[in-house]
Structure 1
Amino acid sequence: MVLVLSMVVVISVTINGWQYLSRRKLDQNLHEINETLADIVSRESAEKVFIRTDEKNIQLFLIQINRLLDYNQKVRADYSKSKESLRKMLSNISHDMKTPLTVILGYGEKLKLNHKMTEKERSEIIVRLHKKTLSIIALMDKFFDLVKIEADDYAIPLSRIAINEICRKNVLEFFESLQAKDLQVELEIPEERYYILGNEEALNRILSNLISNAIRYGSDGGVFGLTLREDRKYIAIDIWDKGKGITEVHQDRVFDRLYTLDDARNPQFLGSGLGLSITKRLTEAMKGSIQLKSKPYKKTVFTCVFKRIMY
């Protein structure tokens, strides 16, 4: 009986001792984790928590902590990038608004102070004032549209639409601009009707942005083109020119929010960098994709690809 009691006591002591050592080791691990985390947070570093331990639960805990640290680092990087983009956007918009506002102010002072101005001169200045005012309104509309799109507050209902006629109509709307630039127009739009799941208003805006860019910045190549092509699964719209193009180093960034086109092509590209950002987001909202390929003075092509819907 005494032997049995002795064995029970020894076993109890052993278990208690093992539990004490385990708790002490656990406390040490948790203390080390706490100290390491506090150091990482205070220094805002991208380090991870690495602790030597045989405890399976502590190992799993460390895995989740390091996943959280990775996520936190990504959030910080995205925030920093977004903050810098916002700063650049505000700077660009401020610059773009300052120029026409200065012109408007000059015209206003001229109308106010020049009493010898003829009625014809006065009418011409009023027309210029109106044009400059519209340019400011258009810039602000782009800014607010981009904000709404990025905040998912821009309704884009999708339905089955025929894409051929939309392409023709958008080129026709730029007919006078194409003529004014003396551009040769090359269209490849099949008679067979192609259908996509899209939004006609959004597609009109996408095409309008890309066509106006090609006319404005690629007209030195002497030609404008739009090609509509398909395979059994996808529909692609190529809008191209043979102008100065976009250097390879910038091609991956032209769709970035607020990446100004003066960086992307040439010094004449002065703007807020909103048009192509809006174009990309509208394309993606219709479950499509957009890409750019450019070889200066050979061919610069913006391609929108959408999933095809059969009859």
Structure 2
Amino acid sequence: MTYLILILLAISIFFNIYFLRSRSKKKNDIIYMEKKLQKITSDKTDEKLMLYTSDKQIQSLLIQINSLLEHNQKTVADFHGVERSMRKMLSNVSHDLKTPLTVILGYIEIILNDKTISPVKMNSLLQTINLKTVEVLDLISRFFELVKIESEDSNYENSKIDLNEVCRKVILEYYEILTTKEFEVSVQIPEESTYVWGNIEAIERILNNLISNSINYGAEGKMIGLKLTSLDDCAYIEVSDKGKGISEHDKDRVFERLYTMEDSRNKLYQGSGIGLTITKRLVEQMNGTISVKSIPFQQTTFTIQLKRLSF
């Protein structure tokens, strides 16, 4: 009986020591985690909590904390990315507004101060002022259009749309300018109608932006193509040209908010880069995607993919 009591006492002492050490280890682990978290947040680093422990509760807590840290770090990175983009956007728009406004003010000063100016010269200056004023208004309009789209404040109503008819209508609007510029035009639109659920105004805006871009920046290739195809439950619209194209370096960023590049195709509106950004946002609002493939002076193709209706 005495031996049994001694054994039970020894077991009790062992477990007390074990639990005390376990509690001490857990306390030390928690203190380490607290100090490490303080350092990560104060230094704003991308570190994670690295701690070896066999304690299941501590392991679970570490997983959750690291998940929160990763989410927070991504949120901060996204915020800084948007902040940089906004600064660049304001810089681009300010520059693009300053140039025509400087011309307008300069010509107005000439008109006000030069009392010997001839009617012919006066008319020429007024025409230039009018042109530059329209450019400013157009840029401001498109800037606010982008802001409205990105704030999801646009009131586009969706309906069943015949893409064949929209493609024919838009390309015909460019008939005179393409003929005047002696472009080779390749139009491939099937006889059977292809329907999608979307907004007809948005699709027309998308096509106008892409075709205008090809005319302006693919002019050296003297060719423009418009192709409509469908496969399974998707419809595809391709706008192509054989101009100077887009480099591999710029291709992945050409749709970014107001991203501009040297000698850029994305400078559709006086270097602001608004055109392709608006195009991408409009496509995404219809749950579609847009991509680009480019081999300079061989073929540059923008492809829009939309969900096709089966009826």
TM-score by length of 2: 0.90
Amino acid at match of 2:208: S
1:280 is displaced (CA, Å) by 0.8
**Greater alpha carbon shift after TM alignment, 65-74 vs 141-150:** 141-150
Aligned twin of 2:102: 102
> 1:149 offset after TM fit, Å?
2.0
State the match for 1:177 in structure 2.
177
Query: 8 Å contact 2:254–2:266 — kept in the other structure?
Result: no
CA distance in 2, matches of 1:28, 1:153: 52
- Relative distance call for 1:268 and 1:64 in structure 2 (3 A) is closer
- Counterpart position of 1:24: 24
Asked if 1:58 corresponds to 2:58, the answer is yes
Measure, in 2, the Cα distance between the counterparts of 1:113 and 1:166.
Answer: 51
1:144 and 2:133 are equivalent in the alignment: no
The answer for the alignment partner of 1:235 in structure 2 is 235
**Map 1:260-275 → 2, pairs under 5 A:** 260-262=260-262, 264=264, 271-275=271-275
Mapping of residues 191-230 of structure 1, within 5 Å: 191-230=191-230
Task: Name the residue aligned to 1:129.
Answer: 129
For the structure 1 residues 49 and 232, does the alpha-carbon distance in structure 2 shift closer, same or farther, using more than 3 Å as the test?
A: closer
Residue 62 of structure 2 aligns with an amino acid whose one-letter code is: L
- In the alignment, the residues of structure 1 paired with residue 233 and residue 127 of structure 2 have an alpha-carbon distance, to the nearest angstrom, of 49
AA matched with 1:66: N
With over 3 angstroms needed to count, the CA separation of the structure-2 counterparts of 1:178 and 1:264, relative to structure 1, is same
Q: CA deviation at 1:16?
A: 5.2
Deviation, structure 1 residue 264: 4.2
SS in 1 for 2:218: helix
The residue that corresponds to 1:166 in the other structure is 166
* 2:260 is the alignment partner of 1:244: no
How far apart are 1:120 and its partner, in Å?
4.0
Q: Percent identity?
A: 44
Rounded Cα–Cα distance in structure 2 between residues aligned with 1:304 and 1:266:
17
Letter in 2 for 1:164: N
Q: Deviations over 1:111-156 (max 9, x none)?
A: 2123333434333332322221121121122222222222222233
AA in 1 matched with 2:79: Y
Query: Which SS does the other structure have where 1:304 is aligned?
Result: strand
Cα shift at 1:268: 10
Counterpart residue type for residue 276 of structure 2: L
Tell me, yes or no, if structure 1 residue 73 matches structure 2 residue 80. no
Q: Deviations over 1:193-232 (max 9, x none)?
A: 2110111111111111101100100011111121112223
* Distance apart, 1:18 and its partner CA: 4.5
CA-to-partner distance for each residue in 1:221-244, whole Å, 9 max, x for gaps? 111121112223221111111111
Give the residue type in structure 1 aligned to 2:22: S
Q: Distance in 2 between matches of 1:179 and 1:153?
A: 38
CA distance in 2, matches of 1:216, 1:30: 63
1:204 corresponds to which letter in structure 2? E
Find the counterpart in structure 1 of residue 289 from structure 2: 289
Instruction: Give the alignment of 1:30-45 within 5 angstroms.
Output: 30-45=30-45
1:23, 1:240 → 2: CA distance?
A: 69
1:112 to 2:112 alignment? yes
Residues 31-80 of structure 1: per-residue CA shift (max 9 Å, x gap): 01011111222222111111121110110000011111111221122122
Instruction: Give CA deviations for 1:1-26 in whole Å, capped at 9, x if unaligned.
Output: 99999998877766655544333222
CA–CA separation in structure 1 for the residues paired with 2:59 and 2:85: 39
SS at match of 1:100: helix
SS for the counterpart of 2:193 is: coil
What amino acid sits opposite 2:101 in the alignment? L
The structural deviation recorded for 1:273 is: 1.3
- CA separation in 2, counterparts of 1:276 and 1:267? 9
SS of 2:262's equivalent in the other structure is helix
Query: Aligned-residue CA RMSD in angstroms?
Result: 2.6
Choose 133-142 or 113-122, whichever is displaced more. Answer: 113-122
Rounded Cα–Cα distance in structure 2 between residues aligned with 1:267 and 1:234? 30
Between 261-270 and 169-178, the greater mean CA deviation after superposition: 261-270
- Which blocks of at least 5 consecutive residues in structure 1 are unaligned? none
Q: Is the 1:260–1:270 contact (alpha carbons within 8 Å) kept by the matching residues of 2?
A: no
Measure how far apart 1:263 and its partner are: 5.5
* C-alpha contact (below 8 Å) 1:170/1:204 kept by paired residues: yes
Note if contact 2:267-2:274 (Cα within 8 Å) is conserved in structure 1.
no
Distance (Å, rounded) in 1 between the aligned partners of 2:117 and 2:180: 31
Q: Aligned partners of 2:81, 2:140: CA distance in 1, in Å?
A: 22
